[in-house]
Amino acid sequence: MLRLEHLSAGYGAVRAVEDLSLDVPAGSVLALLGPNGAGKTSTIMAVMGHITIHCGRVLFEDRDITHEAAVMRPRLGIALVPEGRRLFSDLTVEENLTVGGYSCRAAHERINRARVYDLFPLLWERRRQVAGSMSGGEQQMLAMGRALMAEPRLLLVDELSLGLMPKMVDLCFAALERLRTGGLTIVLVEQSTARALEIAHGVCVLASGSVAFSGPAASALATPALFESFLGPQRKVME
């Protein structure tokens, strides 16, 4: 579904990712882990076309999209749930969902919205509420719903649990599990190592913009020293 080949990317002349290669099979969930500043967000921003790619390639379904304009990525089947949610705070829930579906045919909008409301019934109850007045957990649901309106085959999720209460974290991860079961391919950047590995098939740990570990999630769980070395003791799997 997604392949990065010797990717180097960053912000202007500053390289946040260096010689990064990874594969994400269709229908799988990849947990992209690492300490702050390791290049996790930069990696998914490179996939979305939002930062400068200095060398290497981004392949999506065997198509080279390295130099495709960012505005084209949702049309190709890639959607992003960004860190911090970045909703249109003055728009209602329904209006945010409508914006998320701009790249799809108008005939699909009602169907996609119904699917979002089925995944997050709370959004149906809040559909006329202004997004900026919602709780952090409700906003995260809306950010996920907005991305799903584009009918993605690849969903990039950046820091799903950041700043959320445990109950809302549970609801958001339950939604991810449903999407995974439905066959959606997901790349998950997540601060909670334990929660990420519960849902992931594979894991890639970054350190200073390069791959420090890559393999099945089960192998990562069996390598506690990995998390001590690259994520710090406060982020061990068994925390």
Task: Specify the higher pLDDT residue, 231 or 176.
Answer: 176
Determine the pLDDT at residue 93. Answer: 96
Q: Is 178 helix (H, G, I), strand (E, B) or coil?
A: helix
Cα separation, 117 vs 42, whole angstroms:
31
Instruction: State the pLDDT confidence band at 231, using cuts at 50, 70 and 90.
Output: low
Domain boundaries along the sequence of the chain: 84-151
- Tens of pLDDT, residue by residue over 19-73, are 999 999 999 999 999 888 899 999 999 999 999 999 999 999 999 999 999 999 9
pLDDT at position 217 over 60 = yes
Q: What is the mean pLDDT of the chain?
A: 90
CA distance 148 to 154: 10
Q: Is the pLDDT of residue 238 over 70?
A: no
Distance CA 55, CA 184 (A): 28
Strand, helix or coil for residue 65: coil
Percent of residues, the chain, with pLDDT higher than 90: 71
pTM listed for this prediction: 0.90
* Predicted confidence (pLDDT) at residue 233 exceeds the cutoff of 90: no
Give the HSE-up count for residue 28: Cα atoms under 13 Å, Cβ half-sphere.
17
pLDDT of residue 229: 59
Q: What's CA 142's distance to the chain center, in Å?
A: 14
Query: Could you give phi then psi for residue 61, rounded to 5 degrees?
Result: 50, 45
pLDDT category of residue 164 using cuts at 50, 70 and 90: confident
Per-residue pLDDT, 192 = 85
- For the packed helices 93-100 and 106-119, what is the interaxial angle rounded to 10 degrees? 130
